[in-house]
Amino acid sequence: MLKFRVGSVSLFGLAAIAGLVFSSFGQSAPDFRKGSMNITVTLNGAPLPDMPVNVKQIRHHFGFGGAMAYWPLDSSMILKRYNQKHPDDTLESYTAYIARFGDVASKYEETFAKYFEWITPENEMKWTDVQYIRDADNYYKGDTLVAIADRNDMKIRGHNLFWNEHMGWIPDWADSIAYTAWSGDASYFDTGLAIIDQRTDECLDHYKGKCAHWDIINEIVHGQVDTIFDAKLGGKYGTLKALTKMEDAAIFEHILKRAVTVDNTPLYCLNDYNMVSRWSRNDKIPDSYSTVVNGLIGKGCKIDIIGCEGHFGTLFNDNQFTAATLKSNLDYVASLVPTGEIWITECDFEANNEAQAAEWIGTLMDVCFSHPRVGGIVLWTPYQGNRWREQLTSYVVDTSLAEVPMGAKWREKIAAWTTNETKTTGADGKIAVTGFQGKYRITYTWNNILTDTTVYLGPGTDAFNVTVMTDTVGIRTVGRTPRGNRTTVYINNSPVSFAMPSTVREPLFVKAYSLSGKLLAQVPVAMHSGKCSLAPLPAGCYLYRIGTATRNYHTMVDMNFR
């Protein structure tokens, strides 16, 4: 069965209304990524026939994501990178570079919103970036990317809380604590555990409610020997063991169980590489990963996502980057860890040319979308101007943000998995639509009034009905005014303008209160030139507020809706 979830609805009976009734029944399409919607359009409770209804998918349940860096948005960081890479360039070259990246900065957000529905901050949430100086928190870069995601209805994968692989992935000041402990002052292991707890508490609390996923620990089975610690540890260890001297499973369990006390709403992910790449059967990384993860799950740890980084490297060539190989490796990981979604969290590769890159990404998308355990793909180098290795060719846009063949293929595949249908209701006011799981905007126009509502079709077991109401007269919205973050609505054809942050995504309502503060009526304001009204209230003085369900942005007194 599929669950038909609704983002926001309002049920009230104060006015003559036109409404939509939605219900979802069992999955009828053979594709497990689809569901069926039965939609009934009513007017004043009666079926409304011959009504064209558009059902348009605006977001996908499957994750299509990209890693985003902050630096292209910051002129000082652009200049710093230029000086590092081109110390001997001429003034003319410098001027051209700055002009080009100035143009990139203005289009950077728009480009990511065009290609992706998820953002993973590449470095901006990592411990080394947030707290490179002890107790000097530096969240502004990550906050900027979160704001971009919020403005564009994109989700955030928090990345990462801890990076276990080696000491280069923790702040230098934390490295010095580990070195002091291993040099003979074992009391510093207590300090190491304390700063791990502090990092867990502060970072998860700062981003609480803002991240749909969290990569809690990165590279859990790839602990490497650092030359400083080699003689003391004599083998693989990882940063978390070096800081605490606890065994990997013990410190991982400690972090995971502490994390849920701070924010247990995101899906938790443990990442590692060589999980679905060519080498996965040779170095037994999936086997090692499954031993750790299954053990942690057995101890009651929250692990929702199996993170397969997907750095395919140079060893995937024409004969190896095939649907059969990719599916076999995904099946192998799925067999080892029987619970949780599988995500390709950091996909990049080195193709011979742009045409081959487009072919490879098409193959990967097909295999992942058709695999029942895979929940999403995140491209790690989607912008040619920001690659952690220059030989990587897995980008959707070039250095000037112009689309390349791989970008066209990425969008082509997503478009093929997007539902957009217009059907006309029958005599019973009903239509039926089968569509891919995700967020939908459903609209119809009656008597020159546009009714617009957003619903979510996702996996689940429950079916239910929802009524969304509109009216014939009263409030008409025209969206943002040109100046600042102001919104204008027309009430009885008179404009009312008020400040509202551009990041607000919740639906607006007009709410009527008695002077004692009792809510008497709440009417949704359609944000696409729709109209609605409050029914006439008894004679008296009332407060009217415009705002979301939880916050008000404008208050009016004794307005006459008659």
The DSSP line for 65-90 is EEEE-SGGG-HHHHHHHHHHH-TT--
Spatial separation of the C-alpha atoms in residues 397 and 409, rounded to whole Å:
12
- Phi, psi (deg, nearest 5) at residue 84: -70, -40
Confidence at 105, pLDDT banded by 50, 70, 90: confident
Residue percentage of the chain with pLDDT more than 70: 74
Q: Which residue has the tokens 């926001």?
A: 8
Spatial separation of the C-alpha atoms in residues 469 and 379, rounded to whole Å:
40
Pairwise pLDDT comparison (433 vs 94), residue with the higher score: 433
Structural domains for the chain: 2-60+418-470 (2.60.40.10), 63-403 (3.20.20.80), 475-557 (no CATH)
Categorise residue 171: left if φ over 0, alpha if ψ from -120 to 50, beta otherwise.
beta
Pairwise pLDDT comparison (210 vs 313), residue with the higher score: 210
**pLDDT digit string (tens) for 373-390?**
999 999 999 999 999 999
* Contact present, 244 and 182 (Cβ < 8 Å): no
Provide the pLDDT for residue 98: 66
Pairwise pLDDT comparison (28 vs 356), residue with the higher score: 356
Provide the pLDDT for residue 297: 97
Q: Which of 297, 254, 292 has its CA nearest to residue 272?
A: 292
Provide the pLDDT for residue 16: 31
Which of 134-143, 419-428, 545-554 comes out lowest in average pLDDT? 545-554
**How far out from the chain centre does Cα 546 lie?**
29
Provide the pLDDT for residue 383: 96
What rounded mean pLDDT belongs to the chain?
81
Q: Which long-range contacts (CB under 8 A, 24 or more apart) does 229-232 make?
A: 229/167, 229/178, 229/179, 229/182, 232/182
- Phi, psi (deg, nearest 5) at residue 408: -65, -40
- Phi, psi (deg, nearest 5) at residue 431: -135, 160
Confidence at 530, pLDDT banded by 50, 70, 90: very low
Spatial separation of the C-alpha atoms in residues 177 and 239, rounded to whole Å:
11
Mean pLDDT to the nearest integer, 64-73: 95
Residue percentage of the chain with pLDDT more than 90: 51
Mean pLDDT to the nearest integer, 112-125: 98
Confidence at 97, pLDDT banded by 50, 70, 90: low
Sign of CA dihedral 320, 324, 330, 336: negative
**pLDDT digit string (tens) for 339-376?**
999 999 999 999 989 999 999 999 999 999 999 999 99
pLDDT of 143 > 60? The answer is: yes
Provide the pLDDT for residue 532: 43
* Contact present, 55 and 423 (Cβ < 8 Å): yes
pLDDT of 18 > 80? The answer is: no
Q: 415 Cβ partners below 8 Å, 6+ apart?
A: none
Question: How many Cα atoms within 13 Å fall on the side-chain side of residue 325?
Answer: 19
Provide the pLDDT for residue 168: 83
Q: Which residue has the tokens 């086997």?
A: 287
Provide the pLDDT for residue 92: 65
Which of 31-40, 358-367, 455-464 comes out lowest in average pLDDT? 455-464
Spatial separation of the C-alpha atoms in residues 72 and 107, rounded to whole Å:
10
Confidence at 1, pLDDT banded by 50, 70, 90: very low
**pLDDT digit string (tens) for 219-240?**
999 876 565 555 555 556 789 9
Provide the pLDDT for residue 52: 92
Mean pLDDT to the nearest integer, 203-220: 96
Provide the pLDDT for residue 461: 43
Q: Where are the beta strands (DSSP E) in 416-548?
A: 420-424, 430-436, 438-446, 449-459, 466-470, 475-480, 486-491, 494-499, 508-513, 519-525, 531-532, 543-547
Mean pLDDT to the nearest integer, 163-168: 88
pLDDT of 180 > 80? The answer is: yes
Confidence at 513, pLDDT banded by 50, 70, 90: confident
* Local structure of residue 221 (DSSP, 8 states): T
pLDDT of 199 > 60? The answer is: yes
Pair of tokens at residue 197? 């707890």
Classified as helix, coil or strand, 274 is: coil
Provide the pLDDT for residue 4: 30
Q: 332 Cβ partners below 8 Å, 6+ apart?
A: 280, 281, 286
Q: H/E element holding 5? A: strand 2-6
pLDDT of 6 > 50? The answer is: no
Spatial separation of the C-alpha atoms in residues 437 and 456, rounded to whole Å:
8
pLDDT of 503 > 70? The answer is: no
Q: Where are the beta strands (DSSP E) in 17-171?
A: 18-24, 34-43, 46-47, 52-60, 63-68, 118-121, 155-163
Provide the pLDDT for residue 479: 36
Mean pLDDT to the nearest integer, 490-509: 65
Spatial separation of the C-alpha atoms in residues 546 and 316, rounded to whole Å:
56
Mean pLDDT to the nearest integer, 150-166: 95
pLDDT of 286 > 80? The answer is: yes
Spatial separation of the C-alpha atoms in residues 307 and 288, rounded to whole Å:
14
The per-residue DSSP string of 403-423 comes to: B-HHHHHHHHHHHHT--EEEE
Q: H/E element holding 377? A: strand 374-379
Pairwise pLDDT comparison (143 vs 95), residue with the higher score: 143
Q: Are strands 213-218 and 155-163 parallel, antiparallel or unpaired?
A: parallel
Mean pLDDT to the nearest integer, 52-72: 95
pLDDT of 504 > 80? The answer is: no
**pLDDT digit string (tens) for 392-444?**
999 999 988 999 999 999 999 999 999 999 999 999 888 888 889 999 988 88
Pairwise pLDDT comparison (198 vs 36), residue with the higher score: 198
Provide the pLDDT for residue 468: 45
| Three-point CA angle 85, 90, 92, nearest 5° | 110
Pairwise pLDDT comparison (343 vs 12), residue with the higher score: 343
Confidence at 478, pLDDT banded by 50, 70, 90: very low
- Phi, psi (deg, nearest 5) at residue 265: -80, -35
Mean pLDDT to the nearest integer, 264-290: 85
pLDDT of 465 > 50? The answer is: no
Q: Are strands 63-68 and 374-379 parallel, antiparallel or unpaired?
A: parallel
- Phi, psi (deg, nearest 5) at residue 75: -60, -35
Spatial separation of the C-alpha atoms in residues 356 and 354, rounded to whole Å:
5
